[in-house]
Each structure stands twice: as C-alpha cells, then as structure tokens.
Structure 1
C-alpha cells in the first residue's frame, strides 16, 4: 500500500480482528433465533402471538444479515492483502483465532509456519490491512450498530 499505517490505524485493525469471532458467534445465534421465531410463528394460534414472533424474526434477521455483511466486508478486505502468506496468517490467526505456531501453510502435507515467520507476516499483513480497513470504518460501525442494537448491556 502507498500509505503508512499509523498506530491508531493498527489499533482499529486489531479491534476489528478481535470482534470478528464475537460477531461470527452473534450471527450464528441470530440465525438460530430467527429460525426459531419463524417456527413459533407458524405454530401460533393467536394473531397477537403471531405478530410478536414475526417482529422477533424480523429483528433477528436484520441482526443476522448485518453480521454476515460485516464479516463479508472484513473477509473481502483481508483477501485484498497482496502477500499470500500474510493473508494466511491474518485469516487463521486474527480472524479464526489460531495460535501463531498453528498457522497451517499446506493442509495436505500438514506444514505449519514457524512462529517467527508467522509474526513477521502478521506485521506486514496488519499494516496493509489497516490501510484498507480504515476507509471502511464508518460502514463497519453502521453494521455493528444493527448487530448490537438489541443486545443486553452488562453492567
């Protein structure tokens, strides 16, 4: 990339990577809740009950679609990282949560990247990814608002 990644850009990228697994889990939960609400709506006998489940299903569907869009946007941005090994480290370590010594280079031969090599590629990948993610920040934050809209707040 032409631009140099600043500390703030790198912090935001690390935050996005940290949120990825959480949003993936929320997407799975929202999908299950949406399907359950649709099933309950189909079984409902009373119009008010049917409306309630229909409303719940619509909210869960919106949450699910926002989470899927957020993840697709992040995945597409990671896919644009030029260096293949940096993409591998970003996908496996940052998004999927694999440890640095468990970054798989070749599945068939079960070849893993060394921790120091993975760390080097992670630094390169995060720098490029941060330059690509920052312009998408407002879109990602908008999708996050839809995802967390009806989440309970813990005190």
Structure 2
C-alpha cells in the first residue's frame, strides 16, 4: 500500500514539473531567447554575476559553440565598458536594459584588442555571442531578449 502511494506521488511530481516547464513558468537561468524578425532564437548561456566572474568573462577561451554565449548581469542599470584583452574569439556584444530591450550592439569585437567598448546607454546585461551572429540573426536595437532575470 505504501509502495503504491509512493509511486503515485512520484508520477504526480513528474506531471507537475512537466506542466511548469511547458507553461514557461519554470525557466532555466542558463537560457536566453532572442526575439527577432526571423523568430525566437534560443541561446545557452553561462551567467556571470560576480565581480570576479565578470572580470574573467570569456578570456583565454579559444572557441565557443554557435548556440552558446555568456550573459553578464551587473545587478543594476549603469553604463559599462568592455575590452577584448586576453579574449581569443571575435565576439558580438549585445547591451541590454533591465526589461530585456537591446539598447546597443557592438559587432565583431577584435580579439585581444585593448580598446574600450562602451555600452553607450545604461544597461543591466551584456550578452556575448560569437562574432557575426547578431547580424545573421537580424538583431537590432529595440529587439527583445528573454531571460528569467529580465523584467520584460
């Protein structure tokens, strides 16, 4: 009798988790969705939200899969600046406000270039993806990015 109750409880929990996942109410912190004119584009992200992890970023990495990126969360809106010192892959930097609206895109940042790349506007997030992808996806300022940390 106790075994049957345990089996039913496990099945019920499975149904609840599946329903939450399908409804979008239970979202993963390691996924963003780019809302473009071409449709929704999912990207698997590594979230960096501490001063130490943001400082390191993608430095010293030699490759990144096409459908992956890094999401920097500054936990407040402010103007930020990036550089490519010790970064070996060209990157597109997508500067995003707290609501998930793209404010500025810097395409094809040059590997190992120490020149500052400013956000131009106060932002809370920066998404780094492989260089050239923002153009291929048709991303532009005003497009929406979805992530559980964004208020949009």
- Normalising by the residue count of structure 2, what TM-score does the alignment of the two structures yield? 0.29
- Normalising by the residue count of structure 1, what TM-score does the alignment of the two structures yield? 0.29
Q: Relative to total residues, which structure has the larger strand share, 1 or 2? A: 2
Q: Relative to total residues, which structure has the larger helix share, 1 or 2? A: 1
